[in-house]
Structure 1
Amino acid sequence: MAVLGIQFVITMMMATVLSRVGPHLSLARWLLSSRFAGLVRYLHPSDEELRVFAPPPIRDKREKKKVRQAEKNGVPQGNGVFNVARNIDLNLDKTYVSVGDLVQLRYYSEYQWLLDFAAYSLITYFLSELYGFLFPEKASNEVGFWYTGVGSYQGEEGGERSLVLVMGGAYLLFAMLVLVVDESTLETGLGIQCLALWCGLIGALFTFPGLRTARMHWDSLKYSESSVRSVLLHIGFIAPLLLTTLWIRPLTRDPLTNRIYRNMSAPLMTEDQFESMRLYLIFATVLYRLFIMPTYLQSYLNLAYHKVTELKQEAGKISNIDLQRLVIRVFYYLCVVTLQYIAPMIMILYLSLLYKTLGGGSWIGDLSVPQEECSATEPSPKCLNAKTTFVSGFSTWWCCFAWFGSSAIGIGYQTYFSKG
């Protein structure tokens, strides 16, 4: 086809749909405010509710006279700040999360843009794949989807930035060890390559998403009343670890594609079928993690209740503003937490699609594009696509590893160092 082929036409069509339909039909809004999610947030107590627990101010006769005179003239007194005891018997009201609540949250526009853009770009990709399947002689070899990545985090304290730098350095050191592993053990397809800095960056970016997921997983298990739900959460948590084993030859590829078992004349699957299975498992993991996401987000929203409960065990006083802020802040950062949960999944999913497209993979277990042998030292242009394929494959594996590794570190912290 021409330079402006079917991929360009589908892309422009989906861009138009996104601009027209996006404001009215949003996947991001549906995931947080639909009946499927059923998220409940806690409302902060009003000043009137807190004044019931506030002791009356002690004033002399002159101050009382001034207050009565001000009230008579309709002039408000004070700045509205007063103190209440920390251990008051306070019950928080609850309400379902609505769209009107979400639009006021921090990073809501970024969250909505990322998820809606990812959804429409995925539709663009599959439409291009369908066209290539129906008309293989007219299909283009170009990658027919928009690649989306998330790499931003704003820390409000120097300690958070320090943690990101430390974790990035740790992943950098580990990546340097991984890249010298023999190809017969770990499928990198890279030989000796300078990808350590890239791996360190990915590890740093996945630090806070992993720690946040670990905290939500810990809280979900801690207050779960169903053993079945606990098992489902455990499956979702270890799923990224299972994905990482798909790149370790002695554990998965060799037993499935090379070994011939008793009473069998051939291996369980071919190399091409193994590649397709790996892609399907990544898709299944992403969908499963989306399915259990409401449970994790609800455990985060429940932090408002737990914070107030912990406050009741403390002595002293707290101002009404600080108490209200303690409850409001949890819901205010809901979109930030959701971004930390979803962004790694989107990045892994699109890296796997990039690996499938550049490698000529297929959804039915056969290579759509024959692969040529390429020497690691040959500077021929035909090796460029192969090297790019290897990089995308290794990046997919490394993101799965960093995704699980950061979460495992978070679980270790919650187990041994958390007060709860």
Structure 2
Amino acid sequence: MAVLGVQLVVTLFTATLMHRLAPHCSFARWLLCSGSLFRYKHPSEEELRALAGKQRPRGRRERWPNIPGDEKPLLVPRDAPFQLETCPLTPVDALVLCFFLEYQWFVDFAVYAGGVYLFTEAYFYLLGPREANIAVFWCLLAVAFSIKVFVTVTRMYFSVQGGERAVCCTFAFLFLLLAMLVQVVQDDVLELGLGPGLASGTRNLEPLLKQQGWDWMLPVATLTIRVGLAVVGSVLGAFLTFPGLRLAQTHRDALTMAENRPLLQFFLHTSFLSPLFVLWLWTKPIARDFLCQAPSGTSPLGLLSDSAFDSLRLWVLVALCLLRLAVTRPHLQAYLCLAKARVEQLRKEAGHVEAREIQQRVVRVYCYVAVVSLQYLTPLILTLNCTLLLKWLGCYSWGLGPAPPLLVAPSSAGAGLGEDEAQRAAAGIAAALRGLATPLLLRGVLAFLIWWTAACQLVSSLFGLYFHQHLAVC
């Protein structure tokens, strides 16, 4: 009866609502195509031809030459005084964007997953935890779809012959080394909780493995988990490389566009430095120890309890994600204005250029805006859903009520005598998984993913600031 409870009804209703309302009401489409963003339109061929001082071909032979090679491209002076017109970004214009449908579906799914999570939190707060939380499944799907989006976007850089592939591989190797170094940091400095989590998992696995004579697998399992986390960190760092570089560029341009709006500049700076705040939250000497045991004279002053600090950390993570979401449009508008910057850079050069190249410089920026939106929002959605999973699977509390107790997996009992070999093997595997996936281990893994995502964003965005400030042309 728990499976056919209120949560399943809400899930089915949400899925139906998402399917029915997508063509009519979409948060992703509103965020991108509500009319507050404007794009630049490329100059027409007639306008460029007039600036080049050439007449439009009139004869039939001139317009349709028999030999394709006879048609000469239209050359325009690079410093031609043409103007780029602007127009609002509308839903009709967005239909031709690359990955727009993927962007719309992914962002809308994340919004509905957040709605289901809010409902289940209110449901369990009022009635108490009586059954499994189905919102965990929604959050896991959102995390899986985030990884899928990362793979899809990163695949574009590997499908072309250029330096992007080398950049991804270089950062992947760098982040692999950093991920291995992070895991050897003591919990007194970086309280990710991987050590206590692995100890809890191996403690529950030890009776089962000794019963089967496989106690030698305990250190192998621990090493496998640590190596797996390092590999995941390397791949995630490669995924976040170009989003970080793009964020640095849009951050600089957004600050320039908001030079007369100090409040918006403050929000932009805070949003850009939000990964640094995330790193601070798990640095024990300057976060937990400072707030829970603040030095005050001869005796330490406890401003917060440990449980209150855990709740505060969850709230800060959610607030930082919402802040980054709030400044999405200034970043996207800064990217769309890159078309004008590229044309201005073209005018500083000497000689002539094909009219088609001028048009392509403007159109490419507009056609790529959905991909830039995915690069901006996917790390945000990944961090937010990992935070929600950390709250529930790690047995934390929002501070509005008591935190649920840490459940200890019961030791696996021996299989019944009447069971066959397959049933005993299945029962043994299930017991091993239950014993390994303890709340302490889930705390450590999810905290590592959140902290590592912020670290990768900070490293790549700071490198992007240096690159766009000193190395990039435009």
Of the three residues 114, 121, 124, the one matched with 1:122 is 114
Structure 2 CA distance, aligned partners of 1:330 and 1:135?
Answer: 51
- 2:23 maps to 1:23: yes
The alpha carbon displacement at 1:380 in A equals 9.2
Q: Whole-Å Cα distance in 1 between the matches of residues 191 and 33 of structure 2?
A: 41
Larger deviation: 208-217 or 272-281? 272-281
Q: What residue is the counterpart of 1:61 in the other structure?
A: none
Deviation at 1:415, TM superposition (A): 2.6
Counterpart among 170, 176, 180 of residue 176 in structure 1: 180
- Whole-Å separation in 1 of the counterparts to 2:139 and 2:119: 13
Are 2:444 and 1:385 equivalent residues in the alignment?
Answer: no
Q: Which residue of 2 aligns with 1:221?
A: 255
Within the candidate set 271, 279, 292, 1:244 is matched to: 279
**CA distance in 2: counterparts of 1:20 and 1:49, whole angstroms:** 44
The 1:211/1:137 distance shift into structure 2, 3 A limit, reads closer
CA contact (8 A) 2:139 2:389 kept: no
SS at match of 1:53: helix
Which deviates more, 392-401 or 79-88?
79-88
> Hey, what does 1:328 align to over in structure 2?
363
The structural deviation recorded for 1:225 is 2.5
Aligned amino acid, residue 146 of structure 1: C
Match of 1:253 in 2: 288
The CA deviation at 1:46 is 0.8
Write out aligned runs for 1:115-194 (5 A): 115-136=107-128, 138-140=130-132, 143=136, 145-147=138-140, 148=142, 149-150=146-147, 151-152=150-151, 153=154, 154-155=156-157, 156-191=160-195, 193-194=226-227
Counterpart residue number, 1:269: 304
Worse overlay, 290-299 or 199-208: 290-299
For 1:18 and 1:190, how far apart are their aligned partners in 2? Answer: 37
Give the SS at the match of 1:94.
strand
Compute the displacement of 1:103 (Å). Answer: 1.2
Q: Alpha-carbon deviations, 1:387-411, whole Å to 9, x = none?
A: 1232112111111111222111111
Contact 1:40/1:298 (<8 A) preserved: yes
User: 1:400-411 to 2 correspondence within 5 Å?
Assistant: 400-411=454-465
Amino acid aligned to 1:402: C
Please list every run of at least 4 consecutive aligned residues from structure 1 whose deviation after the TM superposition is greater than 6 angstroms: none
Q: Which residue of 2 aligns with 1:9?
A: 9
SS of aligned partner of 1:145: helix
Alignment of 1:309-320 (within 5 A): 309-320=344-355
- More deviation in 332-341 or 47-56? 47-56
Q: Is the 8 A contact 1:124 1:144 kept in 2?
A: no
Which residue does 2:39 correspond to in 1?
41
Structure 1 residue 319: Cα displacement: 1.7
Taking the TM superposition and a 5 Å limit, the aligned residue runs for 1:65-80 are 68=59
Is 1:52 matched up with 2:30? no
**CA distance 1:166–1:100, shift in 2 (3 Å):** same
Matched, 1:362 2:368: no
* Most deviating of 3-12 and 365-374: 365-374
What secondary structure sits across from 1:52 in the alignment? helix
For the residue of structure 1 that corresponds to 2:87, the secondary structure is strand
For 2:125 and 2:318, how far apart are their aligned partners in 1?
20
Q: What residue ranges of structure 1 are gaps of 5+ in the alignment?
A: 59-63
Give the letter for the 1:298 counterpart: Q
2:455 partner amino acid: F
Q: Determine helix, strand or coil for the equivalent of 2:76.
A: strand
Q: Which has the higher helix share?
A: 2
**What do residues 266-305 of structure 1 show as CA deviations (whole Å, max 9, x unaligned)?**
6111111111111111111111111111111111111111
Q: CA RMSD in A?
A: 2.6
What is the aligned partner in structure 1 of residue 236 from structure 2? 202
> % of aligned pairs identical?
35
What whole-Å deviation, never above 9, does each CA across 1:22-53 have from its counterpart, x for those lacking one? 22100001111225xx1111101111111111
Distance, in Å, in 2 between the alignment partners of 1:137 and 1:87 is: 68
Partner deviation per Cα, 1:317-336 (whole Å, 9 max, x = no partner):
12222211111111010000
- Is there any run of 5+ residues in structure 2 with no aligned partner, and where? 196-221, 410-431
Q: Distance in 2 between matches of 1:175 and 1:198?
A: 9
Classify the secondary structure of the residue corresponding to 2:282. Answer: coil
In 1, Cα distance between equivalents of 2:400 and 2:435: 24
The secondary structure found in structure 2 opposite 1:146 is helix
1:243 CA displacement: 1.2
- Which residue of 315, 318, 324 maps to 1:289? 324
Kindly tell me: are residues 128 and 80 of structure 1, through their superposed partners in 2, closer, same or farther at Cα, counting changes over 3 Å?
A: farther
The aligned length equals: 404
TM-score with structure 2 setting the length: 0.79
